Protein backbone atom coordinates (compact mmCIF):
# COMPACT_ATOMS: atom_id res chain seq x y z
CA UNK A 1 0.00 0.00 0.00
CA UNK A 2 2.92 2.35 0.51
CA UNK A 3 3.53 2.62 -3.25
CA UNK A 4 -0.16 3.15 -3.97
CA UNK A 5 -0.73 5.66 -1.17
CA UNK A 6 2.66 7.33 -0.54
CA UNK A 7 1.42 10.06 1.83
CA UNK A 8 -0.37 7.90 4.34
CA UNK A 9 2.73 6.83 6.27
CA UNK A 10 3.36 10.48 7.13
CA UNK A 11 -0.24 10.76 8.28
CA UNK A 12 0.31 7.76 10.56
CA UNK A 13 3.25 9.58 12.12
CA UNK A 14 1.06 12.64 12.74
CA UNK A 15 -1.56 10.44 14.42
CA UNK A 16 1.06 8.84 16.68
CA UNK A 17 2.48 12.27 17.55
CA UNK A 18 -0.93 13.53 18.66
CA UNK A 19 -1.24 10.56 21.02
CA UNK A 20 2.25 11.15 22.45
CA UNK A 21 1.67 14.87 23.07
CA UNK A 22 -1.60 14.06 24.83
CA UNK A 23 0.09 11.53 27.10
CA UNK A 24 3.05 13.80 27.86
CA UNK A 25 0.75 16.39 29.39
CA UNK A 26 -1.24 13.67 31.19
CA UNK A 27 1.91 12.18 32.69
CA UNK A 28 3.22 15.61 33.71
CA UNK A 29 0.00 16.06 35.69
CA UNK A 30 0.27 12.57 37.24
CA UNK A 31 3.84 13.34 38.36
CA UNK A 32 2.66 16.71 39.79
CA UNK A 33 4.76 18.72 37.34
CA UNK A 34 3.80 21.96 35.63
CA UNK A 35 1.55 21.00 32.75
CA UNK A 36 -1.10 22.05 30.25
CA UNK A 37 -3.37 19.08 30.84
CA UNK A 38 -6.44 21.25 31.46
CA UNK A 39 -6.11 22.94 28.06
CA UNK A 40 -8.84 21.40 25.82
CA UNK A 41 -6.42 20.91 22.91
CA UNK A 42 -4.25 18.52 24.91
CA UNK A 43 -7.24 16.62 26.26
CA UNK A 44 -8.91 15.88 22.92
CA UNK A 45 -5.94 15.15 20.64
CA UNK A 46 -5.10 11.77 22.19
CA UNK A 47 -8.32 9.99 21.33
CA UNK A 48 -8.56 11.90 18.05
CA UNK A 49 -5.09 10.68 17.11
CA UNK A 50 -6.43 7.16 17.56
CA UNK A 51 -9.55 8.07 15.56
CA UNK A 52 -7.22 9.13 12.74
CA UNK A 53 -5.56 5.70 13.00
CA UNK A 54 -9.00 4.06 12.87
CA UNK A 55 -10.09 5.93 9.74
CA UNK A 56 -6.76 5.11 8.12
CA UNK A 57 -7.16 1.42 9.03
CA UNK A 58 -10.68 1.28 7.65
CA UNK A 59 -9.60 2.95 4.42
CA UNK A 60 -6.45 0.88 3.93
CA UNK A 61 -7.84 -2.53 4.89
CA UNK A 62 -10.91 -2.03 2.72
CA UNK A 63 -8.72 -0.88 -0.17
CA UNK A 64 -6.54 -3.97 0.22
CA UNK A 65 -9.56 -6.27 0.20
CA UNK A 66 -11.01 -4.60 -2.88
CA UNK A 67 -7.64 -4.70 -4.63
CA UNK A 68 -7.19 -8.40 -3.86
CA UNK A 69 -10.66 -9.14 -5.17
CA UNK A 70 -9.89 -7.25 -8.39
CA UNK A 71 -6.61 -9.10 -8.96
CA UNK A 72 -7.55 -12.62 -7.87
CA UNK A 73 -11.32 -12.66 -8.24
CA UNK A 74 -11.87 -13.44 -4.56
CA UNK A 75 -10.57 -12.70 -1.07
CA UNK A 76 -8.52 -15.25 0.86
CA UNK A 77 -9.74 -14.91 4.44
CA UNK A 78 -7.04 -17.27 5.69
CA UNK A 79 -4.25 -15.19 4.17
CA UNK A 80 -5.86 -11.97 5.35
CA UNK A 81 -5.94 -13.11 8.97
CA UNK A 82 -2.43 -14.57 8.84
CA UNK A 83 -1.10 -11.24 7.54
CA UNK A 84 -2.89 -9.33 10.29
CA UNK A 85 -1.60 -11.73 12.96
CA UNK A 86 2.00 -11.45 11.75
CA UNK A 87 1.81 -7.67 11.80
CA UNK A 88 -0.02 -7.13 15.07
CA UNK A 89 0.37 -10.02 17.51
CA UNK A 90 4.15 -10.19 18.11
CA UNK A 91 4.51 -6.60 19.35
CA UNK A 92 1.09 -6.64 21.00
CA UNK A 93 1.90 -9.64 23.19
CA UNK A 94 5.37 -8.31 23.98
CA UNK A 95 3.82 -5.10 25.33
CA UNK A 96 1.23 -7.06 27.33
CA UNK A 97 3.94 -9.29 28.83
CA UNK A 98 6.09 -6.31 29.83
CA UNK A 99 3.10 -4.43 31.23
CA UNK A 100 1.90 -7.27 33.44
CA UNK A 101 5.10 -9.08 34.41
CA UNK A 102 8.06 -6.69 34.15
CA UNK A 103 7.25 -3.01 34.71
CA UNK A 104 5.17 -3.58 37.89
CA UNK A 105 8.29 -4.94 39.61
CA UNK A 106 10.60 -2.05 38.64
CA UNK A 107 10.20 0.93 40.95
CA UNK A 108 11.53 3.32 38.30
CA UNK A 109 8.41 2.74 36.20
CA UNK A 110 5.92 3.29 39.01
CA UNK A 111 3.29 5.98 38.35
CA UNK A 112 2.78 7.95 41.60
CA UNK A 113 -0.82 9.04 40.95
CA UNK A 114 -3.10 5.99 41.08
CA UNK A 115 -6.28 7.82 40.05
CA UNK A 116 -5.71 6.98 36.37
CA UNK A 117 -3.55 3.86 36.65
CA UNK A 118 -4.45 1.60 39.60
CA UNK A 119 -2.08 -1.09 40.84
CA UNK A 120 -1.62 -3.58 38.01
CA UNK A 121 -1.26 -6.45 40.49
CA UNK A 122 -4.85 -5.93 41.65
CA UNK A 123 -7.17 -8.27 39.72
CA UNK A 124 -4.21 -9.23 37.55
CA UNK A 125 -5.45 -12.69 36.57
CA UNK A 126 -8.97 -11.80 35.35
CA UNK A 127 -7.61 -8.63 33.76
CA UNK A 128 -4.83 -10.33 31.83
CA UNK A 129 -7.38 -12.74 30.35
CA UNK A 130 -9.00 -9.78 28.59
CA UNK A 131 -5.64 -8.58 27.28
CA UNK A 132 -4.50 -12.02 26.15
CA UNK A 133 -7.73 -12.55 24.23
CA UNK A 134 -7.38 -9.04 22.75
CA UNK A 135 -10.36 -7.65 24.62
CA UNK A 136 -8.51 -4.87 26.42
CA UNK A 137 -11.37 -2.55 25.49
CA UNK A 138 -13.56 -4.68 27.77
CA UNK A 139 -11.05 -5.22 30.57
CA UNK A 140 -10.26 -1.53 30.99
CA UNK A 141 -13.88 -0.45 31.69
CA UNK A 142 -14.09 -3.22 34.31
CA UNK A 143 -10.72 -3.02 36.09
CA UNK A 144 -9.20 0.29 35.02
CA UNK A 145 -6.20 1.27 32.92
CA UNK A 146 -2.91 -0.65 33.06
CA UNK A 147 0.32 1.40 32.91
CA UNK A 148 2.33 0.87 29.71
CA UNK A 149 -0.33 -1.49 28.36
CA UNK A 150 -3.62 0.40 28.19
CA UNK A 151 -2.84 1.77 24.73
CA UNK A 152 -3.60 -1.73 23.46
CA UNK A 153 -7.32 -0.97 23.73
CA UNK A 154 -7.17 0.45 20.21
CA UNK A 155 -5.45 -2.69 18.93
CA UNK A 156 -8.30 -4.72 20.42
CA UNK A 157 -10.83 -2.53 18.63
CA UNK A 158 -9.04 -2.94 15.31
CA UNK A 159 -8.71 -6.70 15.73
CA UNK A 160 -12.43 -7.00 16.48
CA UNK A 161 -13.10 -4.92 13.38
CA UNK A 162 -10.98 -7.31 11.32
CA UNK A 163 -12.97 -10.30 12.59
CA UNK A 164 -16.07 -9.48 10.58
CA UNK A 165 -15.07 -6.78 8.09
CA UNK A 166 -13.79 -9.08 5.31
CA UNK A 167 -17.06 -11.02 5.37
CA UNK A 168 -18.96 -7.93 4.25
CA UNK A 169 -17.03 -7.98 0.99
CA UNK A 170 -17.03 -11.73 0.47
CA UNK A 171 -20.71 -12.29 1.28
CA UNK A 172 -22.26 -8.98 0.19
CA UNK A 173 -19.86 -7.35 -2.29
CA UNK A 174 -22.55 -5.20 -3.95
CA UNK A 175 -24.07 -4.00 -0.69
CA UNK A 176 -20.89 -3.05 1.17
CA UNK A 177 -21.64 0.68 1.50
CA UNK A 178 -25.18 0.01 2.72
CA UNK A 179 -23.90 -2.44 5.30
CA UNK A 180 -21.22 0.00 6.48
CA UNK A 181 -23.89 2.67 6.93
CA UNK A 182 -25.93 0.15 8.92
CA UNK A 183 -22.87 -0.50 11.12
CA UNK A 184 -22.45 3.23 11.78
CA UNK A 185 -26.13 3.80 12.56
CA UNK A 186 -26.20 0.69 14.75
CA UNK A 187 -23.23 2.03 16.69
CA UNK A 188 -25.00 5.37 17.19
CA UNK A 189 -28.11 3.62 18.50
CA UNK A 190 -26.13 1.54 21.01
CA UNK A 191 -24.12 4.58 22.08
CA UNK A 192 -27.30 6.57 22.69
CA UNK A 193 -29.02 3.75 24.59
CA UNK A 194 -26.11 3.10 26.95
CA UNK A 195 -25.15 6.74 27.47
CA UNK A 196 -28.47 8.54 27.71
CA UNK A 197 -31.06 6.00 28.86
CA UNK A 198 -31.51 3.53 31.70
CA UNK A 199 -31.97 0.02 30.38
CA UNK A 200 -34.13 -1.91 32.88
CA UNK A 201 -32.98 -5.40 31.90
CA UNK A 202 -29.36 -4.82 33.01
CA UNK A 203 -27.88 -3.42 36.21
CA UNK A 204 -26.05 -0.10 36.48
CA UNK A 205 -22.58 -1.66 36.67
CA UNK A 206 -23.09 -3.69 33.50
CA UNK A 207 -24.45 -0.64 31.71
CA UNK A 208 -21.37 1.37 32.74
CA UNK A 209 -19.06 -1.38 31.45
CA UNK A 210 -20.86 -1.49 28.10
CA UNK A 211 -20.78 2.30 27.97
CA UNK A 212 -17.03 2.19 28.52
CA UNK A 213 -16.61 -0.48 25.87
CA UNK A 214 -18.53 1.59 23.32
CA UNK A 215 -16.29 4.57 24.10
CA UNK A 216 -13.33 2.50 22.95
CA UNK A 217 -15.10 0.53 20.23
CA UNK A 218 -15.12 3.23 17.54
CA UNK A 219 -16.06 0.92 14.72
CA UNK A 220 -18.05 3.81 13.24
CA UNK A 221 -14.79 5.59 12.40
CA UNK A 222 -13.30 2.53 10.73
CA UNK A 223 -16.51 1.95 8.79
CA UNK A 224 -16.34 5.53 7.53
CA UNK A 225 -12.82 4.91 6.26
CA UNK A 226 -14.15 1.80 4.53
CA UNK A 227 -16.93 3.78 2.83
CA UNK A 228 -14.40 6.19 1.36
CA UNK A 229 -12.30 3.27 0.11
CA UNK A 230 -15.33 1.86 -1.73
CA UNK A 231 -16.15 5.29 -3.18
CA UNK A 232 -12.59 5.51 -4.52
CA UNK A 233 -12.80 1.98 -5.92
CA UNK A 234 -16.06 2.78 -7.70
CA UNK A 235 -14.74 6.17 -8.88
CA UNK A 236 -17.81 7.80 -7.39
CA UNK A 237 -18.77 11.13 -8.95
CA UNK A 238 -18.88 12.86 -5.54
CA UNK A 239 -15.12 12.44 -5.26
CA UNK A 240 -14.74 15.18 -7.87
CA UNK A 241 -16.04 17.63 -5.28
CA UNK A 242 -13.84 16.25 -2.50
CA UNK A 243 -10.80 16.37 -4.80
CA UNK A 244 -11.06 20.13 -5.37
CA UNK A 245 -7.94 21.77 -3.94
CA UNK A 246 -9.92 24.41 -2.07
CA UNK A 247 -12.04 21.73 -0.41
CA UNK A 248 -8.91 19.94 0.74
CA UNK A 249 -7.16 23.01 2.12
CA UNK A 250 -10.32 24.34 3.79
CA UNK A 251 -10.75 20.92 5.43
CA UNK A 252 -7.14 20.87 6.62
CA UNK A 253 -7.31 24.42 8.02
CA UNK A 254 -10.69 23.77 9.66
CA UNK A 255 -9.40 20.55 11.25
CA UNK A 256 -6.29 22.27 12.62
CA UNK A 257 -8.31 25.16 14.07
CA UNK A 258 -10.90 22.84 15.62
CA UNK A 259 -8.11 20.84 17.27
CA UNK A 260 -6.23 23.92 18.49
CA UNK A 261 -9.35 25.32 20.11
CA UNK A 262 -10.33 21.93 21.52
CA UNK A 263 -13.78 21.98 19.93
CA UNK A 264 -16.02 19.14 21.12
CA UNK A 265 -19.04 18.17 19.01
CA UNK A 266 -20.85 16.22 21.70
CA UNK A 267 -22.57 13.02 20.61
CA UNK A 268 -21.11 13.14 17.08
CA UNK A 269 -17.70 14.39 18.24
CA UNK A 270 -15.62 11.53 16.83
CA UNK A 271 -17.80 11.11 13.75
CA UNK A 272 -17.30 14.71 12.63
CA UNK A 273 -13.55 14.57 13.13
CA UNK A 274 -13.47 11.16 11.42
CA UNK A 275 -15.23 12.68 8.40
CA UNK A 276 -12.69 15.51 8.24
CA UNK A 277 -9.86 12.99 8.54
CA UNK A 278 -11.40 10.84 5.79
CA UNK A 279 -11.55 13.78 3.38
CA UNK A 280 -7.88 14.52 4.07
CA UNK A 281 -6.89 10.85 3.73
CA UNK A 282 -8.64 10.26 0.43
CA UNK A 283 -7.11 13.43 -1.04
CA UNK A 284 -3.60 12.54 0.04
CA UNK A 285 -4.03 8.97 -1.16
CA UNK A 286 -5.78 9.45 -4.48
CA UNK A 287 -5.69 13.09 -5.61
CA UNK A 288 -2.85 13.46 -8.13
CA UNK A 289 -2.65 17.21 -7.49
CA UNK A 290 -1.80 16.56 -3.84
CA UNK A 291 0.37 13.46 -4.18
CA UNK A 292 3.50 15.09 -2.74
CA UNK A 293 2.03 17.19 0.09
CA UNK A 294 3.33 15.04 2.94
CA UNK A 295 5.85 12.90 1.12
CA UNK A 296 9.36 12.96 2.57
CA UNK A 297 11.75 10.23 3.66
CA UNK A 298 11.86 11.04 7.36
CA UNK A 299 8.13 11.17 8.12
CA UNK A 300 7.53 8.31 5.70
CA UNK A 301 9.87 6.07 7.69
CA UNK A 302 8.54 7.27 11.05
CA UNK A 303 5.07 6.45 9.78
CA UNK A 304 6.19 2.97 8.79
CA UNK A 305 7.28 2.34 12.41
CA UNK A 306 4.27 4.16 13.89
CA UNK A 307 2.92 0.93 15.41
CA UNK A 308 6.03 0.72 17.57
CA UNK A 309 5.92 4.46 18.28
CA UNK A 310 2.37 4.07 19.55
CA UNK A 311 3.13 0.99 21.63
CA UNK A 312 6.49 1.99 23.17
CA UNK A 313 6.04 5.70 23.86
CA UNK A 314 4.85 5.26 27.46
CA UNK A 315 8.19 3.73 28.45
CA UNK A 316 10.15 6.53 26.79
CA UNK A 317 7.85 9.07 28.43
CA UNK A 318 8.48 7.75 31.94
CA UNK A 319 12.24 7.79 31.33
CA UNK A 320 11.94 11.39 30.10
CA UNK A 321 9.87 12.42 33.14
CA UNK A 322 12.31 10.80 35.59
CA UNK A 323 15.24 12.44 33.80
CA UNK A 324 13.56 15.85 33.89
CA UNK A 325 12.87 15.52 37.62
CA UNK A 326 16.43 14.40 38.37
CA UNK A 327 18.03 17.30 36.49
CA UNK A 328 15.24 19.79 37.32
CA UNK A 329 14.80 20.50 33.61
CA UNK A 330 11.22 20.05 32.44
CA UNK A 331 12.07 21.26 28.94
CA UNK A 332 13.78 17.93 28.17
CA UNK A 333 10.56 15.92 28.47
CA UNK A 334 9.34 16.46 24.93
CA UNK A 335 12.63 15.92 23.05
CA UNK A 336 13.66 12.90 25.15
CA UNK A 337 10.23 11.30 24.80
CA UNK A 338 10.12 11.64 21.04
CA UNK A 339 13.77 10.81 20.33
CA UNK A 340 13.85 7.80 22.66
CA UNK A 341 10.54 6.54 21.28
CA UNK A 342 11.91 6.76 17.75
CA UNK A 343 15.08 4.88 18.71
CA UNK A 344 13.24 2.08 20.52
CA UNK A 345 10.69 1.76 17.71
CA UNK A 346 13.41 1.68 15.05
CA UNK A 347 15.30 -1.08 16.86
CA UNK A 348 12.10 -3.04 17.46
CA UNK A 349 11.08 -2.73 13.83
CA UNK A 350 14.49 -3.76 12.51
CA UNK A 351 15.34 -6.59 14.89
CA UNK A 352 11.96 -7.89 16.10
CA UNK A 353 8.92 -6.91 14.03
CA UNK A 354 10.67 -7.21 10.68
CA UNK A 355 11.21 -10.95 11.16
CA UNK A 356 7.44 -11.47 11.19
CA UNK A 357 6.80 -8.89 8.48
CA UNK A 358 8.99 -10.85 6.07
CA UNK A 359 6.77 -13.88 6.62
CA UNK A 360 3.77 -11.88 5.36
CA UNK A 361 5.13 -12.11 1.82
CA UNK A 362 4.21 -15.80 1.80
CA UNK A 363 0.55 -14.94 2.28
The answer as to whether 132 is a domain residue is: yes
Q: Is the pLDDT of residue 2 over 70?
A: no
* Residues 176, 286, 225, 274, CA torsion sign: negative
How many alpha carbons lie under 13 Å from residue 176 in its C-beta half-sphere? 26
Residue 100 lies in a domain: yes
Task: Please give the full DSSP string across 202-223, using - where no structure is assigned.
Answer: S-HHHHHHHHHHHHH--HHHHH
- Does 344 fall in a domain? yes
- In this predicted structure, what is the pLDDT of residue 351? 97
> Are the beta carbons of 157 and 219 closer than 8 angstroms?
yes
Q: Is the pLDDT of residue 4 over 70?
A: no
Q: How far apart are CA 99 and CA 355, in angstroms?
A: 23
As a whole number of angstroms, the distance between CA 234 and CA 335 comes to 44
CB atoms within 10 A of CB 202: 13
Mean pLDDT, rounded, for 111-130:
80
| Least confident range of 119-123, 238-242, 254-258 | 119-123
pLDDT digits (tens, 9 = 90+) for 45-104: 999 999 999 999 999 999 999 988 888 888 888 999 999 999 999 999 999 999 999 999
* Over residues 213-220, mean pLDDT: 96
Radius of gyration of the chain (CA): 20
The share of the chain scoring above pLDDT 90, in percent, equals 74
> In this predicted structure, what is the pLDDT of residue 171?
83
Please report which confidence band the pLDDT of residue 10 belongs to, taking 50, 70 and 90 as the band edges.
very high
Q: What is the pLDDT of residues 301-359, one digit of tens each?
A: 999 999 999 999 999 999 999 999 999 999 999 999 999 999 999 999 999 999 999 99
User: Is residue 3 in a domain?
Assistant: no
Contact (Cβ atoms closer than 8 angstroms) between residue 11 and residue 52: yes
147 or 92, greater pLDDT: 92
Asked if residue 310 lies in contact with residue 17, where contact means CB atoms within 8 angstroms, the answer is: no
pLDDT of residue 334: 98
What's the whole-number mean pLDDT along residues 166-173? Answer: 82
C-alpha to C-alpha distance for 260 and 258, rounded to whole angstroms: 6
> What is the count of structural domains for the chain?
1
Please choose, from the candidates 322, 321, 350, the residue with its C-alpha nearest in 3D space to the C-alpha of residue 333: 321
User: DSSP letter at 74?
Assistant: S
pTM above the 0.85 mark?
Answer: yes
Full residue range of the structural domain in which residue 283 is found: 8-360
Q: Output the CA angle 84-139-149, nearest 5 degrees.
A: 65
Indicate whether 1 belongs to any domain.
no
Closest CA to 93 of 17, 49, 155: 155
> Would you say residue 2 lies in a domain?
no
183-199 confidence digits (pLDDT tens): 999 999 999 999 998 88
Distances (CA, A) of 218 to 96, 211, 264: 22, 12, 16
For the chain, helix (H) and strand (E) counts, in that order, are 16, 0
CB distance 23 to 337 below 8 Å? no
Specify the DSSP class assigned to residue 294. S
Question: Using CA atoms, how far apart are residues 149 and 94, in angstroms rounded to an integer?
Answer: 10
State residue 116's pLDDT score.
77
Nearest to 284 by CA among 270, 268, 300: 300
Distances (CA, A) of 73 to 257, 296, 317, 325: 44, 35, 47, 59
pLDDT band at 237 (very low <50, low <70, confident <90, very high): confident
Q: What pLDDT, on the 0 to 100 scale, is given for residue 1?
A: 40
Q: What is the mean pLDDT of residues 1-30?
A: 88
d(Cα 52, Cα 255) in Å, to the nearest integer? 12
CA 144, CA 172: separation in Å to the nearest integer? 38
Amino acid sequence: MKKIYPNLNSLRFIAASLVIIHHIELYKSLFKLDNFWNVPFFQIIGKLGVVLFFVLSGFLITSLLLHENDIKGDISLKNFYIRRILRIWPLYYLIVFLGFFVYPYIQFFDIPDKTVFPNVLTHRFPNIVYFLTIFANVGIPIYGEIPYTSQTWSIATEEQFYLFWPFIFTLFPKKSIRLMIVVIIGYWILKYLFNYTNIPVINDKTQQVIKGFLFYFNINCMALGGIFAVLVHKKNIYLNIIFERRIFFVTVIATILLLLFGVNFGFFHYDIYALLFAIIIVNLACNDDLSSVLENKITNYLGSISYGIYMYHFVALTIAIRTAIYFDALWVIYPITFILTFIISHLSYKYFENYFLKLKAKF
